[in-house]
Amino acid sequence: MLNQPVTNFTAAATSNTEVELSALAGQQIVLYFYPKDNTPGCTTESQDFRDLHDQFAAANTLIFGVSRDSMRTHENFKAKHEFPFELISDPEETLCKQFDVIKLKKLYGKEHLGIERSTFLIDKNGVLRHEWRKVKVKDHAAEVLRVAQELNAGS
């Protein structure tokens, strides 16, 4: 998948919008997949992207958070933390499956399928240029920003 064009998708997002990859040509895209709204790690990760939003924008990069949460939960999460970017609701796991982020996870000794925290950077031509899997939240958004800035400067 790396260095290959990403298959076009359309997905429902907050603010009553739809995100269509092909309509975003000319801009870099960060898709960060996270397990659940309003949980400690996911909140911290989203706040980190929020806090760097202006720098991402300066690097011609749009940010979208993706989880299986409902649109209502997303809208509340976005409003509560004042995220300046949209959250994509993927309850059918269409996007999750496209990016292969649904993994068998263990929680309290029980196995279940869930989203593995992952981030993808798509260039302005719709080509997947970088992926981070099994993400650790600390300093992650800053690392994604650094790569986005380098990619933007080189294009």
Cα 16 from Cα 126, distance rounded (Å): 24
Of the residues 19, 29, 30, 42, which is catalytic? Answer: 42
**Long-range CB contact pairs, 55-58, < 8 A, 24+:** 55/145, 55/149, 56/30, 56/145, 56/148
Residue 42 annotated among the catalytic residues of the structure: yes
For residue 145, give every residue at least 6 positions away whose Cβ sits within 8 Å of its Cβ, in sequence order, or none: 52, 55, 56, 59, 61
What are the residue numbers of the active site?
A: 42
